[in-house]
Chain A
Amino acid sequence: MNFVVLQFPASNCDQDAVHGVRVLGHSARLLWHKESSLGDADAVLVPGGFSYGDYLRCGAIARFSPVMQAVKQFAENGGLVIGICNGFQVLTEAGLLPGALIRNRDLQFHCEHVFLKTLTNDSPFTSQIPSGKILRVPIAHGEGCYFADEQTLANLKANNQILWHYCDANGNVSDAANPNGSLQNIAGICNDRRNVAGLMPHPERACEPILGSADGKLIFESMISELQSRLAKAA
């Protein structure tokens, strides 16, 4: 499977994302934000970092990069897109995901491991996560507080679009386990068509045991499983 990892000025988790996918035995390449074609991409990964220095708002400028037109079309056509950290911010700014990411509640930048509870296996981003498994994944962000209005939150809940909650090591979802004040302890969501997802934690930094956790692999493995299943259906 071919993953395309976007590169904006000041993206800095792009190399890690490429590495993470390659560790799983699949193909990944970087794509500069000025390119207007995704080529033979099977999936798009919008990486973490500080694109455009987080100027104006995180992801606010990156969303207008030429490559994002292609990403929007790709998503329209049902293609799999995952946004990680700054990537999540870019996707909300681009309107590919609802809501917004704002400054962490305690105004601190949090660089630490968190635990994630997966709410549903019914998505190409979570299908391979064993039921009950708590994911240990690192975060590194100052503006990761997920916000959406009441109606949007209700819709997300009703449509099973909340994919991950912050929790403690035992899987208890609580404010104490929430590093940034995200409403409803939301760590990641998907769109209503379930082909675009965003999360603040960095699964690409948890793909090898030497990094402290290989739980992040499960998210990429879910995407790969979906892509393989689509390929099988098309054959």
Chain B
Amino acid sequence: MKAKIIVTPKKAVLDPQGKTVQNALEHMGYRGVKAVHVGKYLEIELDGTDKEAARQQLNEAAHRFLSNPVIEDYKLEIE
């Protein structure tokens, strides 16, 4: 099984990296970019086939460690 976790900065947190990338896109001539947020993408390969058990485990891991709930949100997908 493969888990895909996307970690993004919370809306309330200033994202200067995102802003810088947005500015750069504009300078490069890409129009209509309203906002950019830079996050993290993790791929975790797992043994077994029990998706629900994996989801529970990884939700806990994502909340405790893989993301910092003070400043980040995460999305978890298992396939």
Contacts and interface: CB of A to CB of B under 8 A. Distances in A.
A149 B72 CA distance: 12
Secondary structure of the A contact surface, majority rule = loop
A23 interface: no
A60 B68 contact: yes
Contacts of B71: 100, 102, 147
B72 to A, nearest CB: 8
Contacts, number: 35
Nearest to A148: B70
A200 to B, nearest CB: 16
A63 to B, nearest CB: 9
B65 A102 contact: no
A104 B19 CA distance: 13
A152 to B, nearest CB: 8
Contacts of B46: none
Contacts of B14: 102, 105, 145, 147, 181
B18 to A, nearest CB: 10
Interface residues of B, number: 12
Contact of A60 (B13, B16, B17, B65): B65
Contacts of A93: 68
A171 interface: no
Interface string B1-32: 00000000100111011001000000000000
A145 B20 CA distance: 17
**Pairs of residues from A and B, 4 with the lowest C-beta to C-beta distance, nearest first:** A100-B70, A100-B71, A107-B16, A105-B16
24 contacts: A56-B65, A57-B68, A60-B65, A64-B65, A92-B70, A93-B68, A99-B70, A100-B68, A100-B71, A102-B71, A103-B16, A105-B16, A106-B16, A107-B17, A145-B14, A147-B13, A147-B14, A147-B70, A147-B71, A148-B70, A149-B12, A149-B70, A181-B14, A181-B16
